[in-house]
Amino acid sequence: MTPDHWTPRIVAFFCNWCTYTAADLAGVSRLRYAPNVRIIRLMCSGRVDPQFVLDALARGADGVLIGGCHPGDCHYVEGNTKMLRRFRMLRRLLAGFGIEEERVRLEWISAAEGEKVRTVINDMTERIRALGMLGLPMRFEEWDREMGHLEGEIRERATDLDPDDDEAGEEGEPEVPAAAQRPEASHV
Amino acid sequence: MDAAARDLWNRAHSRVNAEYREERRRVTIDPITRLEGHGKIDVFLDEHGEVERAYLQIPEMRGFETFSLGRPAEEMPQITSRICGVCPTAHHMAAAKALDALYQVEPPPAGRKIRELVYHAFMMEDHALHVYLLGGPDFIVGPDAPPGERNVLGVIRKVGIETGRRVIAMRRRLRELIAYFGGKVIHPVLGLPGGVSKGLEPEKLGEFKQLARDNLDFAMFTNQVFKDLVWKNPDYVRLITSEAYTHRTHYMGMVDEQNRVNFYDGQLRVVRPDGTEYAKFPADRYLDFIAEHVEPWSYVKFCYLKPLGWHGFTEGPESSVYAVAPLARLNASDGMSTTLAQTAYDVFFNTVGAKPVHHTLANHWARVIEMIHAAERIVELVNDPELLSPDIRTLPTATPRRGIGVVEAPRGTLIHHFETDERGLIEKANLIVATQNNAARIAMSVDRAAKNLIHKGEVSEGLMNRIEMAFRAYDPCFGCASHALPGHLPLRVRLYDPQRRLVRELVQE
Amino acid sequence: MSKPKVGFYWCASCGGCEEAVVDLAEDLVEVTAAVEIVFWPCAMDFKRADVERLGDGEIAATFLNGAIRTEEQEEMARLLRRKSALLVAYGACAQLGGIPGLANGFSRETMMRFYFEDGPSTVNPERVRPAPETPAHGAALELPRLRRVVRSLDQVVPVDYALPGCPPTPKLTRQAIDALLSGTLPARGSVLAPDTALCDECPRRDSKPTDVAFREFRRPDRTRLEPGVCFLAQGVVCLGPGTRAGCEAPCVRGNMPCSGCFGPTSRVRDQGAKVLSSLSSNVEPRDEAGIDAVLAGIPDPVGTFYRYGLAKSLLRRRVDLPNEPE
């Protein structure tokens, strides 16, 4: 997606017992809300590992919304409290990475609050629209262009040095745009 | 979790993660190569084939001053130790002393003495490494021995396998002492504002006392080896004192109240090329005396004496270039605080010449004298009853703001300067590392060696060896000064004719 | 049968990994007898031309330490990858970016400007900077370019194994070499250290509370650290729960908490996020203000949770840095 045709992409992690049900309710009630959210249902907001949030952003989400039960209402007693604690730290961590606070949001939405689902999603979509695209995959490609540069130069030199060597071209790896050559980004 | 369940769990996870990894993997093209992983020396010849100028270039920097910003100050001894894995203890200790100053707290006697014990053990083993393994081959095996002989194995052949074993065993025991207090020997963790994290258990003391005795024997033995092989050999003394390896610069080193060499604490003293005192100042006034100059062809900055201004890579009374490291320490002091080292100190100046000694290669000898001093200090420290006190740390109470710490690293004066906010988070960090202090003089030595050994476009056979000898005497640690190869720097020398065509390339491995 | 060829090389590192290999001490002699070391720049003659002459994959294993910061290092990594059947990321910098990877929180320009222009002891009124090419005597002096981004080895070339640690221990190094020689290496992609958390082998594990509830986090600068008691029980941040075992807890034996140099276990994709999760979930307060007050005891989350792993984190680098020329 290019910045010109961009519209916010928000990944939402909703608790099965409350916020997901509320989103369902919003649907059944035909409440219209911005179509920018991809909802992932989890059993509890306490299941939202901060790794999920970072991974969503790294894969192209512009924002992440976490929905859980109101304090005191957690189906598993205090999963939502655990999420709140992590969230407070995660916000500071993300600030340290230069990511705006508003891109990651935690909301308590009970099963009855279909209307709140709509308000929150619309509000968040607008705020992120105002912030603009996060576009991490594109940034990663941009960062790694400096490696493609060396590769391109080296390939040129190889061709220069071995003008008679027909195999040089054939043996080479398939042509891959430099920008796409991001190596794996996982732990070995 | 029991082992079987954990195993199952781990296997399931590795499978999932392998798939995940595959999913994220992209093609990487593997190209041919272009550059050398070497320190580079470019030599420019004039129309007569004489050397105009030779440049030693250091190819990397890592930016510790910048990425320390925002970090809690107490992390600095551990973060900055990663500047150099050969002398991590020096960075660790300079940073710990900077934290004392930052938090305005004095370690209790046991805390200070444990630091000093660890520090002298480190100086000892690092110097031993250099004397026997890095610099030693030049003298013990001989400067004109074939390159294949001038290595550790050559040293062992010359001094005997037993001595080789002794060197390895002594270094291992010293490093075990460091690891006992510091957790790890490479990147220790003991230093905290106001003292150390761990004290000495009484049952370990006997072992350390034995180590101290053996170590002093070892230092005296090293002195004997050096005496027999080097300073009884007039050829070597002539080589050491030859003009080719001589630069008349200033010298800097840390001294105690009686102007005696001190590795851990004191004031910095600078002497002029004629040996008179130029300045003496506490570390926190370093900015009045030390400045760094930038050249576009190296990532290393070149230190000089700030009040004198930068006058290029020059020597003599008008120059602001100074040297650090063992020879500089002896030159900048009036003596040693321990008896055996003082005797060796006197012999040194009686043999090599009056103070200051300007011969770069005399660093090897000065290093041996410092080994004796370190060994004697270790003996003093392990016999100090205060060492066993459990009172190893004074907890700080003041608000941190600015702290400067200095130690004499094996390779010379090392300064850490931190400023923080009131929570103790780093707002500014500035580091003057040993090899930077020496960088200008090292550059001059390389240039000098090239000028002496290249004439009429012809390169004398021993050029690479002699260049390497010149800078190896400094025990340069470009790992510290930027990053490159600690101790031993593989070199590539390229010669350009007056038309600036590359006429010759030599590689010293 | 000829002995397997082995190589050691370094990139953006401190030399500590080399020292770690030297610390094999007497073992080193045995190792060198069993393999043919084709290059090791710090200790032996290193002829790059010899490496180039080798066939692709002819080196049985290369142990490469250090992060990748310059174009020169990147190129050496590529050469050694091509020449080596197995490429081992040796140590935290090669595996995770290490301490040099902390530079990914800053732009290259910020770093260069402070170091070469604005530092308090730097005198540089003309704002001279090291340049890729400096004209001199009618020719050019060349320096390798610094990359904008610090990378772990596997972000540049495929890596077969990682030996974790800052530096790796001689014991794990020895085990890896033995496994290589006896053909008993585990599946490619493995980290050559136990796949459990450090707490498993910590001498203080018995004092680790089963149910930690942090009322405060205490920084070591003003805290007296109790010997023998789990750091988490003392309210001191210890990365043991989120860090791989294998080092045998030397820092803890030195009475200091783990700072995470062995990286995560295989179950974790992002060590920092995982440690953040484990520490934050267990603070005692339930309300925002109370939670924030406790978490304020960790003033530098990025540096604390990614001390060695910033380059290898899911986000890799501070994302809002200006776009610099290559």
Q: Are C48 and B37 in contact (CB under 8 A)?
A: yes
> Would you call C76 an interface residue with chain B, using a CB distance cutoff of 8 Å?
yes
Residues of chain C positioned with their CB less than 8 A from the CB of A49 = 273-274, 277
Question: Which pLDDT score is estimated for B497?
Answer: 74
The CA distance from B423 to B400, in Å, is 7
Dist CA A155 CA A172 (whole Å): 9
| CB-CB neighbors (< 8 A) of A44 in chain C | none
Q: What is the pLDDT of residue B380?
A: 98
Instruction: Sheet containing B412-420: give its strands across.
Output: B402-409, B412-420, B426-432
Interface test with A, best of C76, C267, C281, C310 (most A CBs within 10 A): C281
Q: How far apart are CA B63 and CA C305, in angstroms?
A: 20
Residue B231, pLDDT score? 81
Return residues 462-501 of B near C (CB < 8 Å): 477, 479, 483, 485-488, 490, 496, 499-500
C192: Cβ–Cβ under 8 A, 6 or more apart, which residues?
A: C88, C161, C162, C163, C164, C172, C175, C176, C179, C185, C186
Say which residue, A138 or C325, is predicted with more confidence. A138
A61 band by pLDDT with thresholds 50, 70 and 90: very high
Nearest to B404 by CA among B281, B280, B234: B281
How confident is the model at residue B363, as a pLDDT?
92
Q: Which residue spans within B410-501 are E strands per DSSP?
A: 412-420, 426-432, 454-455, 458-459, 491-496
Is there a contact between C289 and C295 (Cβ–Cβ < 8 Å)?
no
Please answer yes or no on whether B189 and C42 come within 8 Å at the CB atom. Answer: no
The whole-angstrom distance between residue B75's C-alpha and the CA centroid of its chain comes to: 22
Going A95 to A97 to A99 to A104, the CA torsion angle's sign is negative
Q: Over range C101-115, report the average pLDDT.
A: 95
Decide if A157 contacts B32 (C-beta within 8 A): yes
Question: What is the reported pLDDT for A173?
Answer: 39
Contacts of B37 in chain C (CB under 8 A): 9, 41, 46, 48, 72-73, 76
Contact criterion met (CB < 8 Å) for B29 and A173: yes
Q: Does B443 touch chain C (CB under 8 A)?
A: no
pLDDT(A12) > 60: yes
Chain B residue numbers with beta carbons less than 8 Å from the beta carbon of A173 are 27, 29-30
Helix (H, G, I), strand (E, B) or coil at C57: coil
Min Cα–Cα distance to chain C from A153, Å: 12
Query: Given A49, A88, A97, which is nearest C315 (Cβ)?
Result: A97
Mean pLDDT of A57-82: 97
Residue found under tokens 């930077």: B436
Using alpha carbons, select from B409, B374, B443 the residue that is nearest to residue B80: B409
Q: What is the mean predicted confidence (pLDDT) over C149-160?
A: 96
Q: Do C146 and B61 touch (CB under 8 A)?
A: yes
Mean pLDDT of chain C: 92
Residue pointed to by tokens 């090292």: B442
Question: Which of C155, C162, C283 shows the shortest C-beta gap to A185?
Answer: C155
Tell whether C4 lies on the interface with B, counting CB pairs under 8 A. no
pLDDT above 60: residue C6 = yes
| pLDDT value of residue B507 | 56
Q: Which residues of chain B have pLDDT under 50?
A: 24-38, 479-490, 508-509
Residue C312 structure tokens: 């290898």
* pLDDT, tens digit, 9 for 90 and up, residues C220-261: 999 999 999 999 999 999 999 999 999 999 999 999 999 999
Partner C contacted by A171 (CB < 8 A): no
Question: What's the pLDDT score for residue A17?
Answer: 97
Task: Return the percent helix, strand and coil in chain C, to nearest 5.
Answer: 35, 15, 50
Q: Residue A148 — pLDDT band, cuts 50, 70, 90?
A: confident
Locate the chain B residue with the closest alpha carbon to A153: B31
Q: Using alpha carbons only, give the angle C198, C202, C204 rounded to the nearest 5 degrees.
A: 140
Picking from B426, B95, B78, A97, the residue whose alpha carbon sits closest to that of residue C308 is: B78
The helix or strand, by DSSP H or E, that contains position B504, with its residue range, turns out to be strand B502-508
Output the pTM of the full model. Answer: 0.90
Taking all residues of chain B, what is their mean pLDDT, rounded to a whole number?
A: 86
- In sequence order, the 6+-apart residues with CB closer than 8 A to the CB of C108 are C146, C147, C148, C324
Q: What is the amino acid identity at position B309?
A: G
Q: Where are the beta strands (DSSP E) in B261-411?
A: 267-271, 277-281, 290-293, 302-305, 322-323, 402-409
Q: Name the residue of chain C whose CA is nearest to B35's CA.
A: C72
pLDDT at B493: 66
**Contact residues, chain B, for C300 at CB < 8 Å:** 70-72, 75, 425
Report the residue from A153, A174, A186 with minimal CB separation from B20: A186
Using CB atoms, list chains with 3+ pairs below 8 Å to chain C.
A, B
pLDDT higher than threshold 90 for residue A35: yes
**Residue with the larger pLDDT of the pair A66 and C209:** A66
Neighbours of B232 (CB within 10 A): 11
Q: Which of B17, B29, B33 sits opposite A186 (nearest CB)?
A: B17
Question: Which pLDDT score, from 0 to 100, does residue B32 have?
Answer: 21
Question: Which of C10, C14, C124 should we substitute to test contact with B (largest number of B Cβ atoms within 10 Å)?
Answer: C14
Most B CBs within 10 Å, among A160, A173, A184, A188, to test the B interface: A184
Query: Residue B487 has what pLDDT?
Result: 34
CB contact under 8 A, A89 and C279: yes
Structure tokens, C316: 């890799």
> C43 falls in which pLDDT band (50, 70, 90)?
low
Tell me: the pLDDT tens digits for A163-174? 444 333 333 333
**Helix/strand/coil for C167:** coil
For residue C237 the two structure tokens come to 């941040």
In this prediction, residue A179 has a pLDDT band, given cuts at 50, 70 and 90, of very low
Task: Give the DSSP letter string of A88-108.
Answer: HHHHHHHHHTT--GGGEEEEE
Q: What separation in angstroms does the CA of B104 have from each of B199, B398, B455, C312?
A: 22, 6, 58, 37
Sheet holding C84-90, edge to edge: C36-39, C5-10, C59-65, C84-90, C161-163
* Gap from C125 CA to chain A (nearest CA, Å): 30
Q: What chain B residue is nearest to A180 in terms of C-alpha separation?
A: B26
Identify the closest residue of chain B to A188 by CA–CA distance.
Answer: B21
pLDDT reported for residue B135:
73
